[in-house]
Structure 1
Amino acid sequence: MKKIKNKIKFLTILSMLIVSFGIAVTSAYAQSETPVTFSVSAIIPENQIDKNLSYFDLKMEPEMTQTIQIVITNNSNEEITSNIQINAASTGTNGVIAYSEHGIQDKSMEYSIEDIAEVATPEVVIPANKSTTVDIKLTMPKESFDGVILGGVYVTAESNIENEEVNENGFEIENKIAYALGLKLTENEKQVEPNMNLKSIEPSLEAMRTAMNIKLQNSEPIIMKNVMIDAQIYKKGENEVLHSAKTTTAEIAPNSSFDFVVDWENTKIEPGQYRLKMRIEYEDHYWEWDEEFEIKDDKASSVNDDAINIEDEFPIWIIIIIGAGILSLLLYLAFIFGKRSKKDEEEK
């Protein structure tokens, strides 16, 4: 019954993906023979720290105000609408810096780029094969700070041309693409000491597969690159590694939390007591944890029930019982056949 249920889940999601793919292809080609494309570039100001960079890397001062500019170029043959948003940098699963989500503010973050930068015109219409300049006003906090404030100018664009044939078929099509341009602010060159915290360990689903999420936090205003993260999970009291994960290329945004995922290799998460051994290395700094944790029955069941194609481990006690039963049957049959053979010999 469990396998049938998993197969139904798998087929349902596969069908959804096929339908989504079909709609995505339609949106890419039904709107126009020319796909909607655009680019975003920064007009580099005088207080740019490294003028060879294509994104904003600005030297600022307390209470400083400044207007910076970006140029959005519509490279398509259609009029497009662009939406511009300022997002704080976040860290994605297993260590990837992203700028696509708005309103994420880690508890360790003292200043957010979203409170400092304001877009003059958050929505602009750009004619075909034309460019538009957008102003962004920066207002620095009164208090000085050490380290980095990091974010991005996140720009999305969608076609303004409706397609009647697609609409008549009942599809709501959006031909939308996105672009992120980094925005980094610093006030001084003082080196900030990095710090990593282990926040929690929880069972989870990743791409509908069983996994363990280890929530980590960079509590300091520093960008960390090429970070090594190594995690091993054991059953409590055992020395054999149950599941593990490792990366040497993690990138972590300042003042951000993220999940480091240990794949459970498509097997059931069993409730019980576990142990995590973990090490993080960044330049000449390292952090180590040796933590015991518990997975409760309700949490394990919730994750297992929603997982797809989970491999059920056959309990060893069932194998022993079946083996003993087969052996008993064979001995019984041997006894019966032996008794009959002896009787036949006596009758002869």
Structure 2
Amino acid sequence: MNKITNKIKFLTIISILIASFSIAVTSAYAQSENPITFSVSAIIPENQIDENLSYFDLKMDPEMEQTIQVMITNNSNEEITSYIAVNSASTGINGVIAYSEHGIQDKSMKHSIEEIAVVDTPEVVIPANKSTVVDIQLTMPKESYDGVILGGIYITAESNAENEESSSDGFEIENKIAYALGLKLTETEKQVKPNMNLKTIEPSLEAMRTAVNVKLQNSEPIIMKNVMIDAQIYKKGESEVLHSAKTATAEIAPNSSFDFVVDWENNKIEPGQYRLKMRVEYEDDYWEWDEEFEIKDDTSSSVNDEAINVDDEFPIWIFIIAGVGILSLLLYLAFIFGKRSKKDEDK
């Protein structure tokens, strides 16, 4: 009887260990069942500047009107609904060009692509394993311009059969994906000289962590790639760098503003006087700033209160150690019970 009891205990512990590892696998699998897939391709017109590109890179004229076309192919085995919008290019945190947000227009932008491009049918139903062509009407401004107008044709799709599923764990899964196709419009070959402005410096939360955001602006209609940005923050009157951030791969959309994040390493942001030294380099041009700024008590308190694990009495590494300790204990108990079972069998 003792042998059977020990074996049951041993198998129970092993089952618990196996189950704990299989839960994550099961959840991940449930979220990937029956995915919808679709593809998007530009039907390249004659006024394409670079025919090797898969997105629209068009040579335009003032007041020019043109219809461009996009083919959307439903590669899944069920009917989908696709939603089409034209969005101005924006620059995300730390320098990433994006096309997913509608209605963003920097103050430096003279012509918005959202005013130039109109989608004929912003919502289309596509049968399983079929394609649909969508027309987009372009109407250029009266006055000529130098540089580029940049945007993206942003397309989302969702299944008509099951827009929302539930996994075995009870979580809702939204079966929806998105695709962005570039749309770049150019009228002249004149080279535009880049310009960067420093707009604001203020504390913030990024991924629920304390940080200071430096808002930068590309005020010209030029795409900037492989931009180097280097920032250091000091306490006013001190020479030791308090926090810093650097990148050499930033991409900045024309006529756009974005936040460059200086991570505060999840320490509390103390109110007081600070100094920012920053340098931005793009090809042969560079911009430098040496600015003093103040963080007020109410602003720092608001950010600190909402941040996760700021000065927490139980840092995350404690939870990691505790988890490893519990797992080690379970393995040890499994070993002991296994050893006892073997002794009982040998008697």
* The two structures share one fold, judged by TM-score above 0.5: yes
Q: Is the 8 A contact 1:222 1:255 kept in 2?
A: yes
Q: 1:104 aligns to what?
A: 104
Q: Which amino acid in structure 1 is aligned with residue 186 of structure 2?
A: T
Question: 1:284-295 residue pairs with structure 2 within 5 A?
Answer: 284-295=284-295
Q: Hey, what does 2:156 align to over in structure 1?
A: 156
The answer to whether the 8 A contact 1:87-1:99 is kept is: yes
Q: TM-score, normalised by structure 2?
A: 0.80
8 Å CA contact retained: 2:165, 2:175: no
Partner-residue secondary structure (3-state), 1:201: strand
Aligned to 2:231: 231
In the alignment, what sits opposite 2:60? 60
Q: How many residues align?
A: 289
TM-score by length of 1: 0.79
In 1: Cα distance, 2:293 partner to 2:171 partner: 48
Quickly say closer, same or farther: Cα 1:77–1:88, change in 2 above 3 A: same
Residue 75 of structure 2 is aligned to residue 75 of structure 1: yes
Which AA in structure 2 matches 1:236?
A: K
Distance 1:111 1:190 in 2: 17
Query: CA 1:165/1:55 → structure 2, altered by over 3 Å: closer, same or farther?
Result: closer
Question: Which residue of the partner structure matches residue 38 of structure 2?
Answer: 38
Asked if 1:141 is matched to 2:153, the reply is: no
Q: Deviations over 1:294-318 (max 9, x none)?
A: 00000000000011111379xxxxx
Q: CA deviation at 1:266?
A: 1.1
Q: Give the superposition deviation at 1:162.
A: 2.8
Look up the SS of the partner of 1:103 in the other structure: coil
Q: Which residue of 2 aligns with 1:339?
A: none
For residues 114 and 164 of structure 1, the distance between their equivalents in structure 2, rounded to whole angstroms, comes to 30
Between the aligned partners of 1:209 and 1:36, the Cα distance in structure 2 is 34
After TM superposition, give the deviation of residue 28 of structure 1 in Å: 3.6
Q: Is residue 28–residue 175 contact of structure 1 (8 Å, CA) maintained in 2?
A: no
- The residue identity in structure 2 corresponding to 1:69 is Q
Q: Contact 1:245 / 1:263 at 8 angstroms: preserved in 2?
A: yes
Does the CA-based 8 Å contact 1:84-1:154 persist in structure 2?
Answer: yes
TM-superposed CA distance for 1:168, in Å, is 12
- 1:283 pairs with 2:279: no
Cα deviation, residue 150, structure 1? 0.1
AA matched with 2:202: E
Contact 1:27 1:175 in 2 (8 A): no
Q: Counterpart of 2:138 in 1: which secondary structure?
A: strand
* Structure 1 residue 25, shift from structure 2 partner: 6.2
* Structure 1 alignment gaps of length 5 or more: 1-20, 314-348
- Tell me, in whole angstroms, the C-alpha distance in 1 between the residues paired with 2:226 and 2:168: 50
Q: 1:24 to 1:125 in 2, by over 3 A?
A: farther
SS of corresponding position for 1:213: strand
CA distance in 2, matches of 1:253, 1:264: 26
Q: Unpaired runs of 5+ in structure 2?
A: 1-24, 314-347
Partner of residue 182, structure 1: 182
Partner of 2:345: none
| Percentage of identical aligned residues | 83
Q: Does 1:257 align with 2:279?
A: no
SS at match of 1:190: coil
- Relative distance call for 1:25 and 1:91 in structure 2 (3 A) is farther
**1:166 Cα deviation after fit:** 3.7
Residue deviations 1:16-39 (CA, integer Å, cap 9, x gap): xxxxx999864542xx3xx20000
**Aligned partners of 2:220 and 2:85: how far apart in 1?**
24
Contact 2:31 2:167 in 1 (8 A): no
Q: 1:167 to 1:280 in 2, by over 3 A?
A: closer
Instruction: Tell me what 2:267 maps to.
Output: 267
Cα distance, 1:167–1:286 mapped onto 2, change above 3 Å: closer
CA contact (8 A) 2:100 2:180 kept: yes
Question: For 1:77-131, what per-residue CA distance to the aligned partner results, in whole angstroms no more than 9, with x for missing partners?
Answer: 0100000000000000000000000000000000000000011100000011111
Q: Does the 8 Å contact 2:146/2:190 carry over to 1? A: yes
Distance between the aligned counterparts of 2:38 and 2:63, measured in 1? 34
Amino acid across the alignment from 2:214: I
Partner of 1:120: 120
Structure 2 Cα separation of the partners of residues 115 and 24 of structure 1: 42
Q: 1:78 to 1:251 in 2, by over 3 A?
A: same
**Structure (1 or 2) with the larger CA radius of gyration:** 1
Residue 219 of structure 1 aligns with an amino acid whose one-letter code is S
What is the alpha-carbon distance in structure 2 between the residues aligned to residue 98 and residue 125 of structure 1? 26
Tell me the amino acid that sits aligned with residue 217 of structure 2. Q
Q: Distance in 2 between matches of 1:159 and 1:81?
A: 6
1:81/1:192 Cα in 2 relative to 1: closer, same or farther (>3 Å)? same
